[in-house]
Structure 1
Amino acid sequence: MISRETGLPITEDEHIIQSMLDIALTAKGTRVMRRNYGTILVPKIDAPMNDEYRMMLMSSLMTAFAEFEPRVEVRRINVNIETAGKPSFMIEAVKKRSNEVLNFNRSFTGGNDAI
């Protein structure tokens, strides 16, 4: 397993997180051979940050992770809207092989490196 940023070896946990971030930050419909890959997080980033949108984000993330990251079972996703109107999310997942819990938090900042 290799980091896509540094080209150096990374742990399984880091690779899973890297994969989940790729899924979260890829806009649905942008992959030519995998039109369903990704979430609505990117195309709707200028949407009003209210509870309805927060629920849509959590649902989109949960569905995408279930479909495209088979190594984990996501147990909890929490999306928070920060004061600047930018979403951040906390994910708790369980690795299917070892039953180890994997937690991570990310904040969406925009731009190409997004999270």
Structure 2
Amino acid sequence: MTYTGMNASTGRALSDLEHIRQSWRDILTTPIGLRLMRRDYGSYVPELIDQPLNGVTRLRVMSAAVSALVRWEPRTRITAARLESDADGSLWVDVDGERIDGPRAGATGTLTIPLRGPTA
């Protein structure tokens, strides 16, 4: 099955892979409780990004990312998630996944989702 989605910024058509990437970004950057008709949609990742950057927070962010994607994106299987940081304070999540639907089932890929940039 192929999906044709809509780009949230431009309104143009998206291929199924780009639609999945957009969906992953949307899920991970939407705080739970923000959507009026879907209060449980999103992830706890935005709530965690201002926590102290230690091993516990890293695990919580990775867990929040994987849990949300497993719940809200049925077209993929998550194989790994990593919280990465830079010396300037930038944070991002690298998520590895595999397609489990349609003619491209088995295709793998990684998505980098920025969470916080350097502060001025």
State the TM-score, normalized to the length of structure 2.
0.83
Quick check: which has more Rg, 1 or 2? 2
Matches within 5 A, 1:64-83: 64-83=68-87
Partner of 2:106: 99
Matches within 5 A, 1:13-28: 13-28=17-32
Matched, 1:43 2:43: no
Structure 1 residue 17: Cα displacement: 0.6
Give percent identity, aligned residues only.
27
| Greater than 3 Å deviation, 4+ residue runs | none
* Structure 1 gap ranges (5+): 111-115
**3-state SS of paired residue (2:68):** helix
Structure with the largest fraction of strand: 2
Matched, 1:85 2:92: no
C-alpha contact (below 8 Å) 1:49/1:85 kept by paired residues: no
Structure 1 residue 14: Cα displacement: 0.6
C-alpha contact (below 8 Å) 2:49/2:116 kept by paired residues: no
Partner Cα distance (1:109, 1:87) in 2: 5
Give the length in aligned residue pairs.
110
Letter in structure 2 aligned against 1:55: L
Aligned-residue CA RMSD in angstroms?
Answer: 1.4
Partner Cα distance (1:106, 1:23) in 2: 11
Structure 1 residue 105: Cα displacement: 1.4
Letter in structure 2 aligned against 1:27: P
* Structure 2 gap ranges (5+): none
Letter in structure 2 aligned against 1:104: L
Partner Cα distance (2:113, 2:50) in 1: 18
C-alpha contact (below 8 Å) 2:75/2:100 kept by paired residues: yes
Structure 1 residue 10: Cα displacement: 1.4
